[in-house]
């Protein structure tokens, strides 16, 4: 008799044990998004955003775009066969009480930019997580910050000529 109960309950138990947690779902989606950039999959990469009004902020002070503005800037990078590659090293994900909004921070490694940090806000839309806002930054050690501030000021002074 016990084996009959087990056979009846096993599919139910298996269904619950294989379902993703919200955090697993977010991590899977963000990992796929990073892979889409690395593989220069333009359509897939931009499908992870909430729409053309989502925001992408790059490392340069001038790089704050809506997705409709970001696409034309990014297109040549995707056309060359590999847009950019960021490998997630560590990520923390947080949720509102309904698990419909998530925010995260991640440490990324990149051969062309070194260690970077990404932060973002995701919205659960029709059962899928979508990026509403993403900010890519390069952490600067505090001991080096003064030198960087000076270099940036000198660079900006040179642009005014």
Tell me, yes or no, whether 6 lies in a domain.
no
Tell me, yes or no, whether 14 lies in a domain.
no
Tell me, yes or no, whether 45 lies in a domain.
yes
What is the domain count for the chain?
A: 1
| Residue 147, domain CATH | 3.10.450.50
Tell me, yes or no, whether 28 lies in a domain.
yes
Tell me, yes or no, whether 7 lies in a domain.
no
- Give the list of residues 6+ apart from residue 64 with CB closer than 8 angstroms, or none: 55, 56, 57, 58
Tell me, yes or no, whether 64 lies in a domain.
yes
**Half-sphere exposure for 96 (CA within 13 Å, toward CB):** 8
This prediction's pTM: 0.83
| CB-count exposure of residue 147 (10 Å: 0-12, 13-18, 19+) | exposed
Give the domain extent around 155.
Answer: 22-159
Percent of the chain with pLDDT over 70: 86
Tell me, yes or no, whether 144 lies in a domain.
yes
Tell me, yes or no, whether 102 lies in a domain.
yes
Residue range 30-72, pLDDT digits in tens: 999 999 999 999 999 999 999 999 999 999 999 999 999 999 9
């Amino acid at each position: 008799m016990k084996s009959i109960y087990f056979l009846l309950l096993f599919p139910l138990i298996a269904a619950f044990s294989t379902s993703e947690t919200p955090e697993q779902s977010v991590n899977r989606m963000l990992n796929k998004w990073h892979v889409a950039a690395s593989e220069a999959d333009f359509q897939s990469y931009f499908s992870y955003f909430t729409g053309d009004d989502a925001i992408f902020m790059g490392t340069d002070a001038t790089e704050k775009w809506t997705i409709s503005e970001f696409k034309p800037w990014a297109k040549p990078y995707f056309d060359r066969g590999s847009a950019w590659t960021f490998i997630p090293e560590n990520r923390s994900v947080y949720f509102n009480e309904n698990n419909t909004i998530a925010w995260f921070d991640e440490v990324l490694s990149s051969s062309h930019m070194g260690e970077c940090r990404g932060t973002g806000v995701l919205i659960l839309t029709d059962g899928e997580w979508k990026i509403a806002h993403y900010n890519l930054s390069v952490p600067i050690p505090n001991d080096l910050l003064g030198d960087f501030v000076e270099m940036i000021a000198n660079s900006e002074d040179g642009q005014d000529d």
